């Protein structure tokens, strides 16, 4: 049984849903590293720090205390996120954060500040870690590496429906364009670009339901020759 499981992939490919299910099934810690970049982005927005100000964003990432815990409220969340002790879990899913998080996560200083903390947590084992560079940078020694993918259009459809369910006023076209820009930034950044690890198992979730993806991964986990 793998003690460390890394799940990477682009936005809305199903990483968070799968990670949560796997962690619950195995009794592991679930850790979505993307919330750390979102936390830095949200705090910058709140403080009026321009997203283009890389030195200021790097200092912010080094200064604020980000805690990720098990859910502290029964409102559908998979975890709770705190910035300096304040619960900001749902704020991190705001549209303005969606639009700004990619450039923030591309800053080398921000990544260095957060990657070190992520690696320390992951090396404790019994963890399902989700992100964009887990198998390649944060936990290259992970015992199981998965990479989820789906078409841009399908991923935009999923994210659009999520936002509607949360009562957000947004169009499908806006979500599609936000994801298109994020894919471009994530895949082309100089530091830790989005790509599958060489030994990752790639799963196309385009036409698979949540339970189908989950069962597929369970079979992989229990197959000693995966």
At residue 198, the pLDDT reads 96
Q: Which residue has the higher pLDDT, 142 or 225?
A: 142
Question: Residues 145-165: what's their mean pLDDT?
Answer: 96
Sign of CA dihedral 100, 10, 212, 79: negative
Residue 226 has pLDDT above 80, yes or no: no
| Residues across the chain | 226
pLDDT over threshold 90, residue 19? yes
Structure tokens at 115: 């990657």
For the chain, the average pLDDT equals: 93
Closest CA to 119 of 27, 46, 22, 33: 33
Whole-number pLDDT of residue 100: 94
pLDDT of residue 71: 85
Is the separation of the CB atoms in 184 and 44 below 8 Å?
no
How do the domains of the chain map onto residue ranges? 4-213
pTM for the full predicted model: 0.82
- CATH tag, 4-213: 3.40.50.300
Confidence of residue 170 (pLDDT cuts 50, 70, 90): very high
Q: What residues does 8 pair with on adjacent strands?
A: 131, 147
Mean pLDDT, rounded, for 201-226: 91
Q: What is the pLDDT of residues 173-188, one digit of tens each?
A: 999 999 999 899 889 9
Burial class of residue 219 (count of CB atoms within 10 Å of its CB; 0-12, 13-18, 19+): exposed
pLDDT of 204 strictly over 90: yes
Q: What pLDDT is recorded for position 224?
A: 60
Position 191 scores a pLDDT of 81
Q: Please name every residue paired with 127 in a beta bridge, in sequence order, or none if there are none.
A: 4, 29
Name beta bridge partners: 7.
130, 146
Q: What is the mean pLDDT of residues 56-64?
A: 96
pLDDT digits (tens, 9 = 90+) for 127-138: 999 999 999 999
Tokens 């015992």 — which residue? 143
With a cut of 70, say whether residue 192 has pLDDT above it. yes
For 77-121, the pLDDT digits (tens) are 888 899 999 999 999 999 899 889 989 988 999 999 999 888 988
Q: What is the pLDDT of residue 69?
A: 80
11-20, 50-59, 61-70: which has the minimum mean pLDDT? 61-70
């Amino acid at each position: 049984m793998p003690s460390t499981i890394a799940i990477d992939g682009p936005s809305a490919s199903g990483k968070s849903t799968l990670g949560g299910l796997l962690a619950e099934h195995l009794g592991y810690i679930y850790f979505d590293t993307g919330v750390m970049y979102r936390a830095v982005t949200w705090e910058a927005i709140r403080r009026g720090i321009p997203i283009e100000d890389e030195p200021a964003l790097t200092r912010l990432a080094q200064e604020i205390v980000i805690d990720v815990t098990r859910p502290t409220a029964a409102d559908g969340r998979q975890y709770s996120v705190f910035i300096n002790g304040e619960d900001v879990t749902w704020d991190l899913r705001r549209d303005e954060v969606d639009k700004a998080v990619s450039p923030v996560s591309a800053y080398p200083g921000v990544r260095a500040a957060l990657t070190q903390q992520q690696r320390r947590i992951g090396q404790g084992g019994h963890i399902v870690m989700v992100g964009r560079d887990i198998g390649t940078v944060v936990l290259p020694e992970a015992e199981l590496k998965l990479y989820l993918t789906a078409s841009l259009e399908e991923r935009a459809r999923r994210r659009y429906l999520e936002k509607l369910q949360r009562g957000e006023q947004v169009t499908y076209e806006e979500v599609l364009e936000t994801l298109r820009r994020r894919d471009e930034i994530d895949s082309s950044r100089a530091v830790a670009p989005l790509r599958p690890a060489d030994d990752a198992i790639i799963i196309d979730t385009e036409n698979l339901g949540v339970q189908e993806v989950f069962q597929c991964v369970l079979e992989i986990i229990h197959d000693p020759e995966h």
